[in-house]
A and B are shown apart, each in its own frame.
Chain A
Amino acid sequence: MEDLTLLLPFVFIFSAALVAVVVGSTSWLQSANGRSPLTTLAWLLALAPLASFVLLAQKIGLINEGEKLKASLTWLPSLNISFSFYLDGLSLLFALLVTGIGTLIIIYAGYYFQKEPSAWRFLSYLFLFMGSMLGLVMAGDVIVLFLFWEGTSITSFLLVAYKYKYPEARQGAFKALFITGGGGIALLFGLLIVAGVSGETSLSAILGSGDLLRESALYPLMLGLLALAALTKSAQWPFHFWLPQAMSAPTPASAYLHSATMVKAGIYLMARLNPVLGETELWFWLFSIVGLITMVLGAYLGLKQNDLKALLAYSTISQLGVLMMLIGQDTDIAFKALVVGVLAHALYKSALFLVAGTVDHESGTRDLRQLGGLRAKMPITAVLAVVAGLSMAGLPPLFGFLAKETLLATAVHPSLPNFFSWVLAAGSVTAGALMLAQAGVLVFGTFWGQPGEAATKADEAPKLMLLAPAIPALLSLAIGILPEPEFLAALLAKGAEAAFGDKVKVSLALWTGLNVPLLLSIVAISLGSTLFYFRHPVRAWQTNFAAQLDLNRAFAATLRGIDWASDQVTRLQNGRLRRYLSFIIVGMVGLVLLFTQGQFGQLLQTMQNDVQFTWTGSQDFLRLVAILVTVGAAIASVLLKRDFAAIVALGASGLSIAVLMVLEPAPDVALVQVVVDILSVVILVLALRLLPRKERQNALSLNMTGGQADRIRNIFIAASSGLVVTVITLFALTSRPRESVVTPFFIENAKPLTSAKDVVGAIIVDFRALDTMIEIAVFSMAGLGMFTLLRQATQALGDKVGEKRPSSAKKLTSFGIYGLRTSVFVQALARLSLPLAIVLAATHMMYGHDQPGDGFTAGVIISLAIGFAYVVFGYEETRARYKWLSAPLIASGMFVLLLVGTSGWLINGTFLSPVDYGAMLNLSLPTGFYLSSAFLFEVAICLSVLGSVFFMLNTLGHPEGLGQNETK
């Protein structure tokens, strides 16, 4: 049945969280006038969970009639996920606990934090948790369930570390989050597999596909993952150890999260899925055994604790073990025991936690060794402790007794394997006895016996604060002694049925006649009383026994393992560039080789057949020489010890590549190669000048360090990468006839479409003008980059270039580079070379479209002339002589480009389309020269190159550059 009122509790609770934040950020909480504002706030905010509780309680009638309520909002239709809620007996039972106990906790927290105005944060986290927990148990879609599940993890993280200044609180919170977060991941994985198998994420669909799920091949995987989630969340062995550490949370949070609600999320999950995943061998053994171990272990460890909350935490673990074990069973009585256990435990345990909190709050300690005899000072608290303690001990006439009776009845159920029934019964009796003993230790140790030092300063808590533990404690009693409340029994039955998948009869009568469970119960009580009587020696023995066995060590070891793995990974990241390069090269070679999978030899074979070398005379001779020079010079650049010589060798290598290009014949490309090569040698040499001599020698010696093995490895890496690339290239180019699509088009259409005889020119400034435009940006940025990077060095030395020219009209001295006087003849040559270069460059640009040559070459030619001037005249004079050389040059180049492109758009409707302005304006121009976008393109390129080179020379040629002192 659709019922949108199911959404209201969420509205209430999340609004309360918001209100807490809003009020918290005002100054209202600071104004302390007698009555604490935080207490008032808590009372007001408690209305939200109370209203939710009432609203949900009204549904009991419907649910008891067998109705299932749903509320659904669209969320992610494309993944078939809806934001939906689902309420049946099981959900309602948990939802009532969440809102009911939640109300009391909020009120209690109002008193607990009476003196802390900043505790609005706590209230707000608590409401966020409450909403998440409620969402978890009412989720109608597994994704919604996961959402709220993670919500409880995060909010409990914030709550556990509420006193975040204490390292233990942070550690406890981290541990809880890491373990339950890990479980959350398993949950998502498991739920998605379940949803994948059943085809839908909605809970009702999944609940209807039990056979499909159980028969799926993935059943063990999904069960394993979901169990992992449930076992971590519900603190089952071997993951239980996070719970005692989470006790660093303020007590109201512990009472709520770690007894009544969050730790039961795992129980809820498995109970929810039992009808579709349960009733298999794997299910039975998994949960029976884990539950049994947890039950006994928790009870055993609880007895030896001195901290009240730690004791309660372990007894909670034990109780959770009981519940988990019950889920493993396949009998109706087990599910009766389950629902009774959930309710009974939630009531007495939250009461006891709140009692412990009150004791802590009033006396300042929770340590049993300092407590004792508080009965006189805190009579009401003592009474509540006794009532709840009796329920925990499983003594009649309290509700806890019924829980234990049904547990024992399950343990001796005839459907169990015989020997296991014995183990289960023995385990339950032992755990029951231990629980009784520790309930005794808790109550007696705190309120009776010698008054401890803490007892002197203690005082009874405010009456209204005691309301919170009183209600659940008294309910434990009331359900036991009052005539059976029909509606509650019916609701519990509905809950059990939802978990069991079949009819379950629930009666809340304590007395069911003299039977085996009762006898076992008597055994447990006598055993427990004996243990209590001998509690001092027993606890002393416990402290020393097997103290080494601590799963916290395993957890620490896990974290250390992660750290170790992290170290291994970061060790690869050792800061050495050479190693990184090796990774990359080896990675590439590896990927390629992996692909060829040993077919490399075969590849070579094919190539031998395909590649035919035929000697065609002098051209080939020249080619061979060029190749030899290229390779030889490249090798020399590596081997030569002097850096200057290495640079020259590199230049030689580049020039012989230009020779190869000329022979191709590709004069255009060769020309560019030549000028680029010269320019780069010039820049490198200038840059070399900036390096301090000492550093240069240092670098050289570094280069030669490293053992023989290193060198061989590096040679091997270099050679293999070279070989692989060569083979790939050869193979790729020979394995199929080369048939370019675009080359013939360019050759055919360069002239008719772009009026360029030079195909390369047409490609650069017309067909692929965009590439050129971007490359100009690259070049400009490179120039700018060099300038900015070297700038600081020169700026530190008091230079003002780029901001303002040197204003003083100093007499020009014509000292060349290194401050040496240059000969007049050379000076004359330098004066002449720039105008000449400009003329040469202009022709390059004007006729670049028809002849080899282009704007780039033009720019470099002018730049070289300027470089020459720097060498001859020195820095200052050059700067004074050529004032037009300045920063905006590079921008102007790019700007012209942009204008050219835009003009194409304005005139032809397409960005960067070619335009012949000369023809448009009917200008008469020299033959072969077109005033077109192509020409302007060349000009722009030239400007940018000039601008960049200016930047480079300017910084590199600066007389006060780095290392100048050494070179003098």
Chain B
Amino acid sequence: MIPTKFLLILPILVPFLTGILAVLSWHQRNLQRVVSLTGSALLLVVTLILFQRIDRFGPQAVQVGNWQAPFGITLYADLFAAIMLVMAGLLGLAVGLYSLANIDEMRQRLGFYPLYQILLMGVCGSFLAGDIFNLYVWFEVMLIASFVLLALGSERRQLEGAIKYVTLNLMSSAIFLAAAGILYGVAGSLNMADLAMRLRTAPVGVVTTLAMMFLVAFGIKAALFPLFSWLPSAYHTPPTAVSAIFSGLLTKVGVYAIVRVFTLLFVQDQAYTQAILLILAALTMVTGGLGAVSQYHYRRILSFHITSQIGYMVMGLALFTPLALAGAILYIVHNIIAKTNLFLISGITEWVGGSYDLKKLGGLYVRQPLLAGLFLVSALALAGLPPLSGFWAKLTLIKAGLEAQAYLIVGTALLVSLLTLYSMIKIWTQAYWKAQPEMVERPLPPRGIGWVIRFAPVMLLAACTIALGLGAEYFLDVAQTAANQLLNPSLYVETVFGTFVGGMH
């Protein structure tokens, strides 16, 4: 059995080592592919073991380099973090496999695999960070890796999107860094567990102002209204594998950070922050949902929906009840899987149909029934139709909303799900049902290894969507435990300091 304090570092070390090995095998493309895929598989295994460990023994913390908290850097994983890590592992493997076929040789030669692994490292690190500055550093890792991945290939529209992406995200970094600096000035510490205790005695005004700065910094990452503009400008430009991993993980890291700081650190002026979060959640849902409606580009529709669905996750946080948070967690998990899969499916659709433009696609229902079926599963899950994964997440959120008597947000959430259905039906009728516009029949790609590499991850994720729906009870149970841990900050503090800490509420 791996000791826990090492197990907690492995989700960082595995992709790090994989990335390094991929750089070292710079000239051997096939070796890089093997290394990358093995690393991704290993990451999934490691995260699963970690999840199982935490599920059984509760939250775990490790002090890196053995420097006692709050003086060194703490890594912390509760069930929420563990769930997110498993998601990172799952996507890392699924998209990693898909990328073998989707990423062209030129991009592979120019360092796709090292960047991909370092991106995964950044994501995993963010989930584990128990130190606010350490979190900032992880964000930097993700930003640099994602920027290069986005621009890799240097197609004109790619660069255009990438410049917007990097500029706006640097803005986020700047605000984050400023906020972290001020926070350190106010509380004299960077360790989150330590901060959780200290901020309770700090002046409410300052803390809430800081909370707003963090909200903006993370909100940009999470693509909240009105900070989301970078996302629809960029996500449809790179190869599908890149869009897919971005859509699945990057915005969710932002959401994760928001959830983390607003359950652990900024809980003083709840009435105010909750009101703000609720309004932002509603506006995010609506603008994202509406934004998608007029689009005719497969991946742009999906991109706008990413934003929309972030609103649901924030709604769960804003309601701030155990059930609501459980709903948010369930929603995050569901969304990561379904949305990534839709991106992958868009890639296969482009592969067989020759375009991302709905006006140019058509007739795939007959020619690619399996693809059409896989799309339908993910699309209906995304729209929240029972008994697929999205329904349970939505149901839990709505139930929590009703219990909190927040009828307006519940109504909004439900109406927006109609908009989601509208967009998904649009893709379905245009890309799959409608007859192919040009008379030129594209030859179907051969059912070779490329076919398997593309379809296997899609089927895996579709199976996960269905399993999430059918095994809803288990997942809901886990999500509820995770939510209860989140709502109990003293558990965090006790785990990090290893002792009982009284006087927290």
CB within 8 Å of B: which residues of A?
74-79, 143, 146-147, 150-151, 154, 157, 161, 164-165, 167, 170, 174, 177-178, 181-182, 185-186, 188-189, 192-193, 196, 221, 562-563, 565-570, 572-573, 575, 577, 579-581, 583-585, 587-588, 591-592, 594-596, 599, 725, 728-729, 731-733, 735-736, 738-743, 745-746, 749, 766-771, 774-775, 777-778, 781-782, 784-785, 787-789, 791-793, 802-803, 887-888, 890-891, 894-895, 898, 901, 904-905, 908, 910-914
Q: How far is the CB of A134 from chain B (nearest CB, A)?
A: 16
Q: How far is B211's CA from A596's CA once the two chains are assembled, in angstroms?
A: 12
Q: Which residue of B6, B27, B118, B480 contacts A911 across the interface (Cβ within 8 Å)?
A: B6
Name B110's closest neighbour in chain A (CB-CB).
Answer: A788
B402 on the interface (CB 8 Å rule)? yes
Contact B188 A185 (CB under 8 A): no
Q: A781-B118, A789-B151 are in contact. Are A736 and B425 (CB under 8 A)?
A: no
Cα separation A185 to B210 with both chains bound (whole Å):
38
Residue of A with least CB distance to B106: A792
Residues on A with C-beta less than 8 A from B71 are 742, 745-746, 749, 767
- CB of A24, distance to nearest CB on chain B (Å): 10
Docked Cα-Cα span, A452 to B386, in Å, equals 49
What are 5 contact pairs spanning A and B, CB under 8 A?
Answer: A165-B434, A746-B71, A894-B20, A904-B65, A908-B66
Distance in angstroms from B362 CB to nearest chain A CB is 10
Q: Which of B95-103, B178-186, B335-343 touches A?
A: B178-186
| Least Cβ–Cβ distance between B41 and chain A, in angstroms | 20
B333 interfacial by beta-carbon distance below 8 Å = no
- Interface residue stretch chosen among B86-94, B141-149, B352-360: B141-149
Asked if B34 CB lies within 8 Å of chain A CBs, one says: no
Q: Are B293 and A770 in contact (CB under 8 A)?
A: no
7 new A-B contacts at CB < 8 Å, known A732-B210, A912-B65: A178-B425, A729-B181, A732-B186, A732-B209, A739-B188, A742-B70, A781-B148
Judge whether B168 and A165 touch: CB under 8 Å.
no
When chains A and B are docked, how far (Å) is the Cα of A569 from the Cα of B283?
A: 11
Comparing B251-259, B391-399, B437-445, B459-467, the segment that makes contact with chain A is B391-399
Which one, B47-55, B213-221, B446-454, is touching chain A?
Answer: B213-221
Is the Cβ of B203 less than 8 Å from the Cβ of A910? no
CB under 8 Å from chain A, chain B span 374-420: 380, 385-387, 391-392, 395-396, 398-399, 402-403, 407, 410-411, 414-415, 417-419
B189 touches A740 (CB 8 A): yes
Given contacts A154-B380, A164-B365, contact A170 B473 (CB under 8 A): no
| Complex CA–CA separation, A595 to B275 (angstroms) | 11
Instruction: Known contacts A580-B164, A739-B188, A898-B16; decide if A592 and B213 are in contact (CB<8 Å).
Output: yes
Asked, given contacts A170-B433, A192-B399, A221-B407, whether A785 binds B140 with beta carbons under 8 Å apart, the answer is: no
CB distance from A908 to the nearest CB of B (A): 7
Query: Which applies to chain B's interface (DSSP): helix, strand, loop or mixed?
Result: helix
Closest residue of chain B to A908 (Cβ to Cβ) is B66
Which partner residue on chain A sits nearest B134 by CB separation?
A771
Contacts of B4 in A (CB 8 A): none
The distance from the CB of B128 to the nearest CB of chain A, in whole angstroms, is 10
* B472 interfacial contact with A, CB 8 Å: yes
Q: Are B72 and A767 in contact (CB under 8 A)?
A: yes
Nearest first, the 7 closest Cβ-Cβ pairs linking A and B are: A785-B148, A891-B23, A566-B293, A740-B188, A580-B229, A566-B294, A788-B110
Q: Are B148 and A789 in contact (CB under 8 A)?
A: yes
Complex Cα gap A288–B495 (Å): 63
B425 touches A174 (CB 8 A): yes
- Is B429 touching A174 in the complex (CB atoms < 8 A)? yes
| Cα–Cα distance between A577 and B190 once the two chains are bound (Å) | 33
> Quick one: given A75-B473, A732-B182, A789-B152, are A147 and B386 in contact (CB under 8 Å)?
yes
B226–A587 CB distance below 8 A: yes
Known: A196-B402, A572-B229. A566 touches B290 (CB 8 A): yes
* Residues of B with C-beta under 8 A to A584: 168, 171, 216, 220, 226-227, 229
Is B17 interfacial (CB 8 A cutoff)? Answer: yes
Closest chain B residue to A196 by CB distance?
Answer: B402
Please measure, in the bound complex, the distance between the C-alpha atom of A79 and the C-alpha atom of B330, giving whole angstroms.
14
The listed residue (A143, A567, A904) touching B294 by CB distance below 8 A is A567
* Residues in B neighbouring A888, C-beta threshold 8 A: 23-24, 26
Residues in chain A near residue B311, CB distance under 8 A: none
* Complex CA distance for A58 and B476, rounded to whole angstroms: 39
- The answer on a CB contact under 8 Å between A591 and B216 is yes
Contact of A150 among B133, B386, B435 (CB under 8 A): B386
Q: Determine whether the beta carbon of A78 is less than 8 Å from that of B480.
A: yes
Please indicate the chain B residues that have their CB under 8 angstroms from the CB of A157 in the complex.
425
User: Once bound together, how far apart are the Cα atoms of A178 and B185, in whole Å?
Assistant: 54
8 Å CB contacts to A: which residues of B61-77?
Answer: 63-67, 70-73
The number of A-B residue pairs with CB atoms under 8 Å apart is: 313
Whether B141 contacts A731 by the Cβ 8 Å rule is: no
**Contact A895 B20, beta carbon cutoff 8 Å:** yes
Q: Which of B284-314 contact A (CB under 8 A)?
A: 287, 290-295
Verify A777–B141 contact, CB threshold 8 A: yes
Q: Give the contacting residue for B202; candidates A174, A585, A736; CB below 8 A.
A: A736
A761 to chain B, nearest CB (A): 15
With contacts A188-B398, A584-B220, A725-B178 taken as known, whether A777 is within 8 angstroms of B16 at the C-beta atoms is yes
**Would you call B206 an interface residue if the criterion is a C-beta within 8 Å of the partner chain's C-beta atoms?**
yes
Residue of A nearest to B148 (CB): A785
In the complex, the answer to whether B472 meets A887 with C-beta atoms within 8 Å is: no
Cα distance A76–B469 in the bound complex, in angstroms: 11
Which chain B residues border A575 with CB–CB below 8 Å?
233
Nearest Cβ distance between residue B127 and chain A, in whole angstroms? 14
Known: A587-B216, A742-B190. A791 touches B110 (CB 8 A): yes
Q: Which residues of B contact A75 (CB under 8 A)?
A: 472-473
Among residues of A, the one whose C-beta sits closest to the C-beta of B22 is A891
Cβ-defined contact, B134 with A177, below 8 A: no
CA of A866 to CA of B83 in the docked complex: distance in angstroms? 47
Q: Are B145 and A165 in contact, with the CB atoms below 8 A?
A: no
Query: Which of B6, B232, B414 sits near A185, CB closer than 8 Å?
Result: B414
Do A735 and B148 form a contact, CB below 8 Å, given A784-B111, A791-B110?
no
Q: B67 — which chain A residues lie within 8 A by C-beta? A: 766-767
Query: Cβ of A766: which chain B residues have Cβ within 8 Å of it?
Result: 65, 67
Complex interface: chain A residues within 8 A of B417 (CB): 185
When distances are taken between beta carbons in the complex, the residues of chain A under 8 Å from B386 are 143, 146-147, 150-151
With a cutoff of 8 Å between Cβ atoms, the chain B residues found around residue A588 in the complex are 175, 212-213, 216
Closest to B129 in A: A770
Q: Give A769 to B293 CA distance when docked, in angstroms.
A: 48
Q: Are B425 and A591 in contact (CB under 8 A)?
A: no
The answer to whether A778 and B144 touch across the interface, beta carbons within 8 angstroms, is yes
Indicate whether B115 reaches chain A with its CB closer than 8 angstroms. yes
Cβ of B477 under 8 Å from chain A: yes
The reply to whether B118 and A189 form a contact with Cβ atoms under 8 Å apart is no
Residue from the list A592, A743, A803 in contact with B209, Cβ < 8 A: A592
B168 near A580 with CB under 8 A, answer yes
Determine how close the nearest CB of chain B comes to the CB of A81; give it in whole angstroms: 9
Neighbouring A residues of B407 by C-beta, 8 Å: 221
Closest to B27 in A: A803
Of B65, B185, B429, the most chain A CB neighbours within 10 A belong to B65
B186: nearest residue on chain A (CB-CB)? A732
- Contact (Cβ within 8 A) B229 A566: no
User: CB-CB < 8 A to B434: which residues of A?
Assistant: 164-165, 167, 170
Q: Are B230 and A732 in contact (CB under 8 A)?
A: no
Does chain A have a CB within 8 A of B456?
A: no
Q: How distant is the Cα of A49 from the Cα of B134 in the complex, in angstroms?
A: 62
Question: Measured between C-beta atoms, what is the minimum distance from A578 to chain B in Å?
Answer: 10
CB distance from A752 to the nearest CB of B (A): 13
Most chain-B CB neighbours within 10 Å: which of A587, A769, A774? A774
Cβ-defined contact, A769 with B65, below 8 A: yes
Q: Residue of A at shortest CB range from B179? A: A728
Tell which of A79, A170, A221, A782 touches B399, judged by Cβ atoms closer than 8 Å.
A79
Indicate if B272 sits at the interface (CB-CB under 8 A).
yes
Residues from chain A with Cβ under 8 Å of B232 in the complex: 573
Smallest Cβ distance from A221 to chain B, in angstroms?
7
Which chain B residue shows the least CB distance to A182? B418
